[in-house]
């Protein structure tokens, strides 16, 4: 517990934890002040995400790389998962899908781009393991195809189409999870030597925690397992409670701020949910450990596309009012496809300079700008 | 003749030849038993395709690489061509187009992917000539563009549109054949040294027969030219007769088995038609001769896209009730484009491991699953 | 002035200058003879474009590479800009957009392809700086995304949509110009060593003029600065006057010749406007200076996409009856995207042979053929 307090004292990001009780007090006193509650929940989720991410790393650092990778898959994107589950229980499939697409696009464009840019500001040319980047890009491409083909082949107007869409979504969900599992098996077991330094990247934050531990940096040292597990449990409950307020307030707040729901779902939620991972990725880029940045950014994106999204779809059968399908509206599929192609194009060479980051951020800005200006009716 | 019998004795695949007479007997006795006839024709076409492929190799092995390549272009996909011609004469343009798209997608995703996977089960990492793979991928890309642009630019609702579509299809057909011929000239004549071991790949099965002959493997030794030509003629007639029964029974059979026509056209016909080539490609992959596998898979796909499809379109002016155009429905164009992009993406590096094969097969499964579940009305 | 006359005597292309007075005489005497005027303006624009291009080179050769690059950006595509401005003032947004898309597609497919083909006829295999080609391809890709996403996300049927489209176009225009400026800064300043020989390519015709001057080739030696500036001013006025006749006559003439307006806008105007740059690119390719050819072709395409198009859009607020947006019809966006992908695919390896050129030209022919046959109503 001392370690936890010490960490909170040293990490200014964690001071935002003060907003967690503020959310619950606010919700009791003024349940109709949606705009205020919305801002409070945003501010409260950021430090909780950071704690969650650190606790996950600490647990993963205890295990081997294979189990660590699996842990990362299940826990690394926990914030996104909890927010999405809350929205799922409320039957808000639209918000769930928007946050999935937003997380994929934000991770593979903004997080990767900002890493390249920040790293490029300090180093003239940076190199990274392109085998690892290619694997992640290929996995993302598979996910994009899995989401694109149904939309292209199906005009689900008839009732028959809807039933068929549900079966197809089930099949695709299983297929994506299998592909993800085989990809982990490939990169962590049978061909791990190809992923050299990138093995850590694939294992995401676990690897970072491990390396950081070796480097002896106080702020990122792994916690004792008991503390880590307790934090994991406690913070998950807190995130779940805060998310509930967030999901309730988000639509009203969007109207108040003049933001389209699409913009909130894609951009705001995605940036908040990934805040902690971004801090890790950016700091790694500035230490010239671009393998790690690419691993976090693309690894996280492919985790969401091939693991979190299908799992949410499967869970929708048990939670919430109606099962969710995997059909995304055309604009979302186009964004995922473009994000994937862009990431594949720029990571192909295994080298980076600041302008590569600018290009990625520009593509992200095109999306953000379009979503911000989108008339509320159309999505 | 002895050689032929000896080969049939040694090759279990050829024992299926017993189903050829069964088709004709069945058609005489029970012309209404569509489901049974459908299964019988499937089983009969596989060994005929194998014989045809072997006879073609034997003829091609006698000639130089340039003529051999041309022979392969005209004869290598003979099974598909005969099935398509039968459907063309029956005016079933839908089935013709489905089998063209199915053959392209099956060859460039499933055949390539299974070769990578089977080869990767035995060898840790395999290398192949990427120049050859890139040429084939570029040719496929050109074909995909030639099929995509008309669909994207034309809304052929008016009568004017239909007439224009026919002229455009004629122009595109000529253009694709010219591109294919120039591509052969480039890889077999002016720049053959770039295609080193892949020259065999490009020459497809011809190359394999030649190499196998050197290696002295009894089962794959080239036949005497007389036997080869006689087999070529006789088997072509048999395939034509069996195909006629197949085309008649396929639609009724699909209903009986609860399969959509799209699934039958794309997946079942394509897998059957390419059975023999697959056997060659898989065996080459397991002998670590991946150049040959890639050559057969992508070479066959580009042959169909740039040679078989345009030739069928041109022949439709002389055969069948009405000329066929080259406009494919959007879903088909999307599948060709994705198959091409996927093949280009994974062959770009010139190296392969088992997971690359898994990725290709997964993309294929996404297509197959969607087509299997597609409501019969929509295509 | 002597130099100018001497150059005109030595360069047969410039003899076409005789058609410039012919245009004005024709317009006075027979303002209704649209078809004749159209042909005369085409013939008059070609030599004016050549003079303009040479004058720009001469000015750019005086300055450093950084300023030279900027000069090329503003002046290199001056012919296209003046034609487009004239059309903009006449409120013909359709023609402006067609000429923008046509210039991008023609430069990145036909000019690049013909350079590869002509170079490949003389040299077996040619190499070029792939870093530079990749940067241009990435910039083009960004522009394609910026034009694609709005069309994919917006169904601008409502009035709200139209207002939103205008704001979005403004935002995208600023974004593209910033990206272009940063790209220049990157390739000419911070990372110029990566663009080695390609630095000349990026600087386009400036580089060529500089090198040609060193080589002492009389026909391409830079002019004295006074002559260059005077020519620049005088010829710009002439191009503007001729363009006015051109824009007036183009629609009537298209009908007379049975060409669709789309074909005229995309293909004829683009080929005419780029005539002079093509002469430079082809001659460089045949001198085995492929870096320069690629630089002119792709550099010019990205200039138009990221600089000329947004500037035209911004200028439409001050010139012409109504502001122009950046929404292109779907077929145009597909063409830009395919042209970009094709250019990225074939320049990826940094090597070229004649067949690569054939492939690019074939893709261009697919577009040209489709546009030629397009029924006049649809675009």
pLDDT number for residue B128: 87
Q: Is B311 strand, coil or helix?
A: helix
Q: Which pair of tokens denotes residue A344? A: 């594949």
Instruction: Identify which of B161, B171, B183 has the shortest CB distance to residue C375.
Output: B161
Query: Is the pLDDT reported for residue A62 higher than 90?
Result: no
Residues pairing with B351 in the sheet? B127
Q: Does C230 touch chain A if contact means CB atoms closer than 8 Å?
A: no
* Pairwise CB contact (< 8 Å): A369 & C153: no
pLDDT number for residue A288: 87
Residue range A230-241, pLDDT digits in tens: 888 888 888 888
Given a contact cutoff of 8 angstroms between Cβ atoms, the answer to whether B231 and B88 are in contact is no
pTM: 0.85
Q: Which element (helix H / strand E) includes B127? A: strand B126-127
Mean pLDDT within B62-86:
68
Residue C322, CB half-sphere, CA atoms under 13 Å: how many?
9
Separation CA A40–CA B84 (nearest Å): 65
CA B123 to chain centre: 27
User: Which residues, including other chains, have CB under 8 Å from residue C338's CB and lie 6 or more apart?
Assistant: B145, B148, B149, C363
A372 to chain C: closest CA residue: C168
pLDDT number for residue C204: 40
Query: Is the pLDDT reported for residue A105 higher than 90?
Result: yes
Least confident piece of the model among A9-13, A330-334, B106-110, C265-269? A9-13
Give the model's confidence band at B83: pLDDT under 50 very low, under 70 low, under 90 confident, else very high: confident
Scan for tokens 């003049």, then name that residue: A258
CA A82 to chain centre: 11
Neighbours of chain C (3+ CB pairs under 8 A): A, B
Separation CA A112–CA A308 (nearest Å): 20
pLDDT number for residue A120: 93
Instruction: Identify which of C152, C164, C186 has the shortest CB distance to residue A330.
Output: C152
pLDDT number for residue C153: 63
Q: Does A14 touch chain B if contact means CB atoms closer than 8 Å?
A: no
CA distances from B63 to B56, B69, B132, B233, B293 (A): 11, 9, 21, 18, 22
- Chain B residues 166-185 with CB within 8 Å of chain C: 167-168, 171-172, 175, 178-179, 182-183
Mean pLDDT within B83-97:
84
Query: Is the pLDDT reported for residue B378 higher than 60?
Result: no
Query: Is the pLDDT reported for residue B259 higher than 90?
Result: no
Instruction: Identify which of B152, B161, B182 has the shortest CB distance to residue C330.
Output: B152
Q: Which residues of chain B have a CB within 8 Å of the CB of C354? A: 186, 190
Least confident piece of the model among A58-72, A105-119, B13-27, C140-154? A58-72
Instruction: Identify which of B145, B154, B182 has the shortest CB distance to residue C366.
Output: B145
Query: Is the pLDDT reported for residue C208 higher than 50?
Result: no
pLDDT number for residue B172: 92
Q: Is B223 strand, coil or helix?
A: coil
Give the model's confidence band at C247: pLDDT under 50 very low, under 70 low, under 90 confident, else very high: confident
Query: Is the pLDDT reported for residue C200 higher than 50?
Result: no
Higher pLDDT, C194 or C161: C194
Convert B228-261 to b/e letters by CB count within 10 Å (16 or more is b).
beebbeebbebbebbbbbbbbbbbebbeeeebbb
DSSP C193: G
Q: Is C259 strand, coil or helix?
A: coil
Q: Which pair of tokens denotes residue B78? A: 């003979």
Higher pLDDT, A225 or C29: C29
Give the model's confidence band at A114: pLDDT under 50 very low, under 70 low, under 90 confident, else very high: very high
Q: Which of A270-279, C30-39, C101-110 has the highest mean pLDDT?
A: C101-110
Instruction: Identify which of B331, B348, B359 has the shortest CB distance to residue A153.
Output: B331
pLDDT number for residue B358: 95
Residues pairing with C126 in the sheet? C352
Higher pLDDT, C289 or C153: C289
Q: What is the DSSP string of A264-288?
A: IIIIIHHHHHTHHHHHHHHHHHHTT
pLDDT number for residue C217: 39
Least confident piece of the model among A23-27, A42-46, B265-269, C155-159? C155-159
Instruction: Identify which of A154, A175, A191 has the shortest CB distance to residue B362.
Output: A175
Least confident piece of the model among A18-22, A54-58, B180-184, C217-221? C217-221
Residue range C56-80, pLDDT digits in tens: 777 767 765 556 655 655 666 777 7
Given a contact cutoff of 8 angstroms between Cβ atoms, the answer to whether B220 and B208 are in contact is yes
* Pairwise CB contact (< 8 Å): B349 & A141: no
Residue range B124-149, pLDDT digits in tens: 998 888 888 888 888 999 999 998 87
Instruction: Identify which of B348, B366, B375 has the shortest CB distance to residue A164.
Output: B375
Closest CA to A294 of A147, A186, A135, A176: A135
Query: Is the pLDDT reported for residue C122 higher than 70?
Result: yes
pLDDT number for residue A224: 82
Q: What is the mean pLDDT of chain B?
A: 80
Q: Does A196 touch chain C if contact means CB atoms closer than 8 Å?
A: no
Scan for tokens 């169909």, then name that residue: B304
Q: Which of A166-170, B248-252, B255-259, C63-67 has the highest mean pLDDT?
A: A166-170
Query: Is the pLDDT reported for residue B201 higher than 70?
Result: no
Q: Using CB atoms within 10 Å of the CB of residue C9, give its burial: 0 to 12 exposed, 13 to 18 middle, 19+ buried.
A: exposed
Mean pLDDT within B348-361:
90
Separation CA C150–CA B358 (nearest Å): 35
Q: Does A160 touch chain B if contact means CB atoms closer than 8 Å?
A: yes
CA A139, A140, A141, A142 torsion-angle sign: positive
Separation CA C217–CA B126 (nearest Å): 51
CA A286, A289, A291, A292 torsion-angle sign: negative
B140 to chain C: closest CA residue: C359
Scan for tokens 């080179």, then name that residue: C57
Given a contact cutoff of 8 angstroms between Cβ atoms, the answer to whether B274 and B106 are in contact is yes
CA distances from B30 to B18, B35, B243 (A): 18, 11, 17
Residue range A122-175, pLDDT digits in tens: 999 998 888 888 888 889 999 999 988 777 666 545 556 677 788 888 999 999
B147 to chain C: closest CA residue: C366
* Pairwise CB contact (< 8 Å): C142 & A355: no
* Pairwise CB contact (< 8 Å): A338 & C145: yes
CA distances from A223 to A60, A73, B134, C108 (A): 11, 20, 50, 56
A-C contacts (CB, under 8 Å): 81
* Pairwise CB contact (< 8 Å): C359 & B142: yes
* Pairwise CB contact (< 8 Å): B330 & A179: no
pLDDT number for residue C94: 82
Separation CA C103–CA C137 (nearest Å): 15
* Pairwise CB contact (< 8 Å): B345 & A155: no
* Pairwise CB contact (< 8 Å): A366 & C135: no
Higher pLDDT, C261 or C29: C29
Query: Is the pLDDT reported for residue B168 higher than 70?
Result: yes
DSSP C321: S
Query: Is the pLDDT reported for residue C39 higher than 50?
Result: yes
Q: Which residues of chain C have a CB within 8 Å of the CB of B154? A: 370, 374, 378
Given a contact cutoff of 8 angstroms between Cβ atoms, the answer to whether A172 and B363 are in contact is no
Give helix B93-105 / helix B290-303 axis angle, nearest 10°. Answer: 160
CB atoms within 10 A of CB C131: 17
Q: Does B121 touch chain A if contact means CB atoms closer than 8 Å?
A: no
| SS3 per residue for B137-149 | HHHHHHHHHHHHH
Q: Does C369 touch chain A if contact means CB atoms closer than 8 Å?
A: no
Separation CA B246–CA C200 (nearest Å): 62
* Pairwise CB contact (< 8 Å): A186 & B365: no
* Pairwise CB contact (< 8 Å): A125 & C191: yes
Give the model's confidence band at B116: pLDDT under 50 very low, under 70 low, under 90 confident, else very high: very high
Q: Does C134 touch chain A if contact means CB atoms closer than 8 Å?
A: yes
Best C369, C372, C376, C377 member to test B by mutation, with max B CBs in 10 Å, is C369
Q: Does A152 touch chain B if contact means CB atoms closer than 8 Å?
A: yes
Closest CA to B70 of B79, B80, B59: B59
Scan for tokens 């898994």, then name that residue: B358
Query: Is the pLDDT reported for residue B311 higher than 80?
Result: yes
Given a contact cutoff of 8 angstroms between Cβ atoms, the answer to whether C320 and C90 are in contact is yes
Q: Which of A62-66, A374-378, B167-171, C70-74 has the highest mean pLDDT?
A: B167-171
pLDDT number for residue B46: 83
Rg, chain B, Cα only: 20
Separation CA C89–CA C324 (nearest Å): 11
Given a contact cutoff of 8 angstroms between Cβ atoms, the answer to whether C281 and C297 are in contact is yes
Query: Is the pLDDT reported for residue C273 higher than 80?
Result: no
pLDDT number for residue B216: 36
Q: Does B135 touch chain C if contact means CB atoms closer than 8 Å?
A: yes
Q: What is the mean pLDDT of chain C?
A: 80
Given a contact cutoff of 8 angstroms between Cβ atoms, the answer to whether B229 and B56 are in contact is no
Residues pairing with A118 in the sheet? none
CA distances from C40 to A185, A363, C238, C251 (A): 68, 43, 14, 15
Query: Is the pLDDT reported for residue A379 higher than 70?
Result: no
Mean pLDDT within A111-124:
93
Give the model's confidence band at A68: pLDDT under 50 very low, under 70 low, under 90 confident, else very high: low
Given a contact cutoff of 8 angstroms between Cβ atoms, the answer to whether B337 and B144 are in contact is yes
pLDDT number for residue A172: 92
Higher pLDDT, B83 or A63: B83
Q: Does B45 touch chain C if contact means CB atoms closer than 8 Å?
A: no
Q: Is A351 strand, coil or helix?
A: strand
| Smallest Cα distance from C278 to chain A, Å | 28
Least confident piece of the model among A148-157, B212-221, C54-63, C90-99? B212-221
Q: Does B152 touch chain A if contact means CB atoms closer than 8 Å?
A: no
Scan for tokens 């093949």, then name that residue: B343
What are the residue ranges of helices labelled H in B34-129? 34-62, 65-71, 78-89, 93-105, 112-122
Separation CA C355–CA A112 (nearest Å): 36
Give the model's confidence band at B69: pLDDT under 50 very low, under 70 low, under 90 confident, else very high: low
Higher pLDDT, B48 or C260: B48
Scan for tokens 């992009």, then name that residue: B341
Given a contact cutoff of 8 angstroms between Cβ atoms, the answer to whether B341 and A337 are in contact is no
Instruction: Identify which of A124, A363, A370 has the shortest CB distance to residue C168.
Output: A370
Q: Which element (helix H / strand E) includes C253? A: helix C225-257
Give the model's confidence band at B160: pLDDT under 50 very low, under 70 low, under 90 confident, else very high: low
* Pairwise CB contact (< 8 Å): B355 & A161: no
Give the model's confidence band at C379: pLDDT under 50 very low, under 70 low, under 90 confident, else very high: very low
Separation CA C38–CA A259 (nearest Å): 50
Scan for tokens 């050109």, then name that residue: B142
Closest CA to A360 of A117, A99, A100: A117
Separation CA A271–CA C3 (nearest Å): 62
Closest CA to C137 of C357, C341, C362: C341
Per DSSP (E only), the strands in A35-138 are: 126-127
Given a contact cutoff of 8 angstroms between Cβ atoms, the answer to whether C83 and C246 are in contact is yes
* Pairwise CB contact (< 8 Å): C148 & A354: no
Best A367, A374, A375, A377 member to test C by mutation, with max C CBs in 10 Å, is A375
Q: Does A334 touch chain B if contact means CB atoms closer than 8 Å?
A: no
Q: Which residues of chain B have a CB within 8 Å of the CB of A171? A: 369, 373
Give the model's confidence band at B214: pLDDT under 50 very low, under 70 low, under 90 confident, else very high: very low
* Pairwise CB contact (< 8 Å): C153 & A359: no
* Pairwise CB contact (< 8 Å): C338 & B148: yes
Give the model's confidence band at A202: pLDDT under 50 very low, under 70 low, under 90 confident, else very high: very low
DSSP A158: S
Give the model's confidence band at B360: pLDDT under 50 very low, under 70 low, under 90 confident, else very high: very high
Q: Using CB atoms within 10 Å of the CB of residue B106, give its burial: 0 to 12 exposed, 13 to 18 middle, 19+ buried.
A: buried
Mean pLDDT within B33-60:
82
Mean pLDDT within C27-53:
85
pLDDT number for residue A310: 92
Query: Is the pLDDT reported for residue C18 higher than 60?
Result: yes
Q: Is B360 strand, coil or helix?
A: helix
pLDDT number for residue A237: 85
Query: Is the pLDDT reported for residue A214 higher than 80?
Result: no
């Amino acid at each position: 517990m001392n370690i936890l307090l010490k960490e909170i004292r040293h990490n200014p990001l964690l001071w935002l934890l003060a907003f967690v009780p503020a959310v619950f007090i606010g919700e009791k006193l003024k349940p109709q002040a949606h705009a205020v509650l919305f801002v409070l929940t945003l501010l409260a989720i950021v430090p909780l995400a950071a704690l969650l991410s650190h606790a996950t790393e600490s647990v993963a650092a205890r295990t081997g790389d294979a189990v660590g990778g699996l842990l990362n898959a299940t826990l690394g994107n926990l914030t996104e998962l909890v927010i999405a589950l809350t929205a799922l229980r409320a039957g808000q499939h639209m918000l769930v899908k928007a946050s999935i697409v937003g997380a994929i696009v934000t991770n593979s464009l903004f997080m990767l781009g900002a890493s390249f840019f920040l790293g490029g500001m300090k180093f003239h040319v940076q190199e990274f393991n392109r085998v690892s980047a290619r694997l992640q890009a290929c996995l993302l491409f598979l996910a994009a195809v899995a989401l694109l083909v149904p939309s292209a082949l199906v005009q689900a107007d008839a009732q028959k189409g809807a039933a068929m869409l549900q079966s197809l979504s089930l099949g695709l969900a299983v297929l994506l999870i299998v592909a993800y599992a085989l990809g982990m098996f490939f990169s962590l077991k049978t061909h791990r030597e190809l992923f050299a330094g990138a093995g850590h990247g694939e294992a995401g934050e676990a690897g970072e925690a491990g390396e950081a531990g070796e480097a002896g940096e106080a702020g990122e040292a792994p916690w004792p397992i008991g503390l880590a597990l307790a934090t994991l449990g406690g913070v998950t409950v807190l995130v779940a409670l805060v998310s509930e307020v967030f999901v309730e307030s988000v639509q009203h707040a969007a109207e108040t701020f003049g933001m389209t729901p699409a913009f909130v779902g894609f951009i705001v939620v995605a940036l908040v949910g990934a805040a902690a991972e971004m801090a890790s990725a950016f700091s790694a880029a500035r230490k010239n450990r671009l393998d790690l940045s690419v691993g976090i950014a693309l690894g996280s994106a492919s985790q969401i596309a091939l693991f979190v999204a299908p799992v949410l779809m499967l869970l929708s059968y048990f939670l919430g009012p109606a099962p969710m399908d995997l059909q995304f509206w055309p604009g979302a599929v186009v964004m995922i496809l473009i994000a994937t192609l862009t990431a594949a194009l720029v990571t192909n060479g295994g080298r980076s300079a600041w302008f590569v980051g600018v290009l990625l951020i520009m593509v992200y800005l095109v999306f953000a700008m379009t979503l911000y200006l989108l008339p509320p009716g159309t999505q």
